[in-house]
Amino acid sequence: MLDAQPADPDSLSSTAMLPGIAASAAAARALGYHGVANLIADEHLTPERIARMSRVSVSKGAARDFVIIILAHGLGRYRACPHGWTGDVERALALDALAAEPDPAATLSTLAELASRIVSKHWPEIAPA
């Protein structure tokens, strides 16, 4: 029998998880939300549940960060399996969170680029084994 090794809390590969969840956790961690990253990974949070968490934030910056985390979920799913993928759920949640922005679509585009960079950088940790 193998001895169980303690999981590294900052390692995404310490537990098996779906690429979308791993990508959201990686984005949260990259943005400095280590507790949120752990919660996403431990509870396997969906984009909808992450969006609910973002609604309790009073900071405009934090709301944008949560949009990046939500978008990273969709990007992780896409990179793992592009066939049949749509990012409609993540896009709708992001636009809802950005409704107070002067140009939600432009802000979404900018944040999507940031999410894409984070997912690309952390893909070796995110990708399923």
**Tokens at 126, concatenated:** 């995110």
Question: Quick one: pLDDT at residue 57?
Answer: 72
CA–CA separation, 60 and 67 (whole Å): 11
pLDDT tens-place string over residues 2-19: 333 333 434 444 345 799
100-104, 120-124, 125-129 — which is least confidently predicted? 125-129
Question: Quick one: pLDDT at residue 1?
Answer: 30
Question: Quick one: pLDDT at residue 14?
Answer: 38
> What percentage of the chain exceeds 90 in pLDDT?
76
CA–CA separation, 28 and 65 (whole Å): 8
Examine the pLDDT at 115 and tell me if it is beyond 50. yes
Give the closest residue to 94 by CA, choosing from 109, 84, 79, 80. 109
User: How much is the pTM?
Assistant: 0.85
Q: Quote the mean pLDDT of the chain.
A: 87
pLDDT tens-place string over residues 43-89: 999 999 999 988 887 687 899 999 999 999 999 999 999 999 999 99
Question: Which runs of consecutive H residues, i.e. helices, occur in 31-128?
Answer: 34-43, 47-54, 60-80, 88-97, 104-126
Say if residues 74 and 90 touch (Cβ distance below 8 Å): yes
Say if residues 66 and 53 touch (Cβ distance below 8 Å): yes
